[in-house]
Structure 1
Amino acid sequence: MKRCIACGAPLSAEPLLTIENMPAAAQHLPRPEDAATERGVTLRLCACTGCGLTQLDTEPVSYYRDVIRSGGYSETMDKLRRAQYDAWIPAFHLEGKKILEAGCGQGEFLSILAAYPVKAYGMEHFHELVVKAREKGLTVAEEYPEREDQVFENGPFDAFTSFNFLEHQPDPAAYLRAIANNLTAGGAGLVTVPSFEYILEENSFYEFIPDHLSYFTEDSLSSLLNRCGFDVLKKERVNRDTISVWIKKKARPDVSGLIEKQKSIARDITGLVNEAAARGKVAIWGASHQGFSIAASLGLGDKICYIIDSAPFKQGHIAPSSHIPIVSPDAAAADPATCILIVAPGYTEEIAARICEKFPAGTEIWTLRSDVPERLTDRREA
């Protein structure tokens, strides 16, 4: 079964479209003497059943790592890139920052970028193009982003650009993740790809070519970028047939609050249990994941006599990791603890009432409310 090059889900069982006798490649053109043996190919356009990316069911061309760019010589592309840089660079405060063009060819667009107040770097796989770019005075590394653990020359970078190159990649997710892993925190991106919406609007079957494996809509492009560690901040259609997006590397979740809360709960609960255990037996009410986690992570297995829970299917078992026995309320009442810590959010008042009903007067009742241990008043004492 053929699978999606972007997410690995199965492709549709039947192609969306099959076109015979199409050009086998857009570059490295055959010569007149090749006419006797050169043949067209059959292209099958398929849809991913998972992420929805439309793609060709074919092998990539041999030169998919190389950027062979004829449009870079046009006045139209020159004006478009300058307009994009004019807006993108100040929007992300990239003045003086390091910007990488992934797949820069011989530096057609990189030369334009280098005229801005930024530190411009390029990356190109095709050796001859690297040489030409360097002859222009550009800083270009001879490499290609294809492994997530890859460390780029001249990196890390504060931002990157990728102009109509992503659609060529047989593993676009690895390409993007390799770049993301070589960006600084919050690194920005400017990415363009041909628009599949445009092809559908114009019904232009002649746009399909084996060089382009992926046919992105704004949604499928955004989905891929999101899965590869980027937030999509802006999407637009440029030059009629091209999707342009501004992206930003996703920030790692800030778990400092969790770390501090873990420390405070550990301190408070451990202190409470140790003090109560010195006076008698201590129990937990609530065989939930919260109760299990607190008992296990705080090492309370030898300090808690049992965990009480009303669910019959939990009774008679032991808590994961801490191995504290789980008992019914009636069994606990027959051998009562002197201190009970309620760890069952949403049921605290109901459980406290049952403790007052079934357990001896003077039983200490504690609960975790807002993650702070709080002693509840025994109604029989009030």
Structure 2
Amino acid sequence: MKRCIACGAPLWETPLLTLNNMPASAQHMPDASQLGEERGMTLNLCQCMGCGLVQFDCQPVDYYRDVIRAGGYSKTMVELRRYQYKHLIEDYHLEGKRFLEVGCGQGEFLKILEEFPVEAHGIEHNPRLAELARAQGLDVREGFAESEKTCFPGGPYDVFLSFNFLEHQPDPNGMLQAIYRNLKNDGIGLITVPSFEYIMDHSSYYELIRDHIAYYTFDTLLPLLERNGFQAEECEVINRDTLSVIVKKRSRMEAGNLLDCCVNLKKEMETYLKYLDAWGKRVAIWGASHQGFTLAATTKLGKKAGYIIDSAPFKQGKFSPASHLPIVAPEYFFEHPVEAIIITAPGYTEEIALCIREKFGKEIEVRAMRSNHLELI
């Protein structure tokens, strides 16, 4: 069963469309001597059962790593790039930042970027195109966004640009991971791809070509970007037929407060257990919950407590993971009494505290976990 290039889920068995005698590629056009052997091919346009991405179920063209632009110098495209650059730099305060165009061809769009107060850099897989770019005085090096292990020359960068390149990639995750790993924290990106909505709205099947192995909508592009560490800041349709997305690199969350809580709670628990020892008080836990299991395993409570009380029969007779405390019915208390009980079932604290008072007496010292500390009930 063939699988999605973006999420790995199966493709629907029946193609959306089967196209016969399709061009094998948009480049490498045959000359007169090759016409006798040149043939069209059958292409199946399929859809992923998981993420919904529309794609051809064939191998990509052999030059998918190269950026070949026929319209890079058109007036329409030049003005569009100027508009995009101006908006991106001014609205996101990117003056003086280091930009990298991933797949820059011979530098058609990098040349425009040099009009702005930023550092313009590019990588291009095709050595000939990279040399043509350098001949114009552009900083372009040979490279390709292959996988998360790829290191871009001169990286990491503040901003990345990718213009109508992702749709050529048989491994879009690999490309996006390469970009992510070579982008600074809080880095910004601008990415464009042809719009499949445009093709559907205009019934323009002639827009389909094997070079574009994937056909994105916002519904399939944005989840792909998010799965690879980017959050969308802006989305728009440009030039009628192109999706444009400004993204920000999602940084790893800071969990310092959780670490502080862990350290502080361990100290608080240790202090409380010392107090119980000083007064000769025994302690049990009420609540064979994940909260109780974690507290017993990660603090000294697991060594001090005699057992865990829980009203659920299916838990009784078992032991807590990691700390290995016996889980018992409430009646167990009467044969093995304790002077203190710690409640570790946050959703039922008041109910359990009332049960303790009624069953075991008001002399029992009851404490409960409240947020990040022990509270006397």
Structure-1-length-normalised TM-score: 0.96
1:102 is matched with 102
Match of 2:290 in 1: 289
Residue type at the aligned position of 1:69:
R
Q: Does 1:70 align with 2:70?
A: yes
Counting aligned pairs with the same residue, the percent is 54
Q: Contact (CA 8 Å) 1:300, 1:322: kept in 2 or not?
A: no
- Paired with 1:299 and 1:32, the residues of 2 have a C-alpha distance of 84
Q: Which residue in 2 is equivalent to 1:379? A: none
CA distances 1:204-240 after superposition (whole Å, capped 9, x unpaired): 1111111001100111111111111111111111111
Worse overlay, 210-219 or 328-337: 328-337
Summarize the Cα distance change of 1:33–1:299 in structure 2 as closer, same or farther, 3 Å threshold.
farther
Q: Name the CA distance, whole Å, in 1 between partners of 2:139 and 2:338.
A: 73
1:361 to partner: Cα distance: 4.4
Which amino acid in the other structure matches residue 365 of structure 1? V
Give 1:215-254 correspondences, 5 Å limit.
215-254=215-254
Task: Give the match for residue 307 of structure 1.
Answer: 308
State the distance in 1 between where 2:123 and 2:26 align: 22
Corresponding residue for 2:79? Answer: 79
Per the alignment, in what secondary structure is the counterpart of residue 376 of structure 2? strand
CA distance in 2, matches of 1:32, 1:338: 97
* RMSD (CA atoms): 1.1
- 1:359 is displaced (CA, Å) by 2.0
Please list, as runs of the form range in 1=range in 2, the aligned pairs for 1:257-276 lying within 5 A after superposition: 257-276=257-276
1:149 is aligned to 2:149: yes
Quote the Cα distance in structure 2 between the aligned partners of 1:266 and 1:69.
Answer: 62
> Do the aligned residues in 1 keep the contact of 2:269 with 2:300 (CA within 8 Å)?
no
- Aligned mates of 1:262, 1:51 — CA distance in 2: 38
2:269–2:301 Cα contact (<8 Å) kept: no
**Contact 2:167 2:214 (8 Å CA) reproduced:** yes
Deviates more, 1:338-347 or 1:1-10: 338-347
Number of residues paired by the alignment?
376
Q: Is the 8 A contact 2:344 2:368 kept in 1?
A: yes
Please report the TM-score for the alignment, with normalisation by the length of structure 2: 0.97
Cα distance in 2 between the residues matched to 1:187 and 1:136: 27
SS of equivalent to 2:301: coil
State the 1:84 CA deviation: 0.7
Deviations 1:321-353 (A, max 9, x none): 111111110012321111111111121111111
| In the alignment, structure 1 residue 345 sits paired with structure 2 residue 346 | yes
Give 5+ residue unaligned stretches, structure 2: none
Q: Tell me if structure 1 keeps the 8 A contact 2:123–2:143.
A: yes
Letter in 1 for 2:26: A
Deviation at 1:300, TM superposition (A): 3.1
Shift >3 Å, 4+ stretches: none
Per-residue deviation, residues 89-140 of structure 1 (Å, max 9, x unmatched): 1111110001110000010001111221001110100010111111111111
Q: Report if the CA contact (8 A) 1:274-1:303 is conserved.
A: no
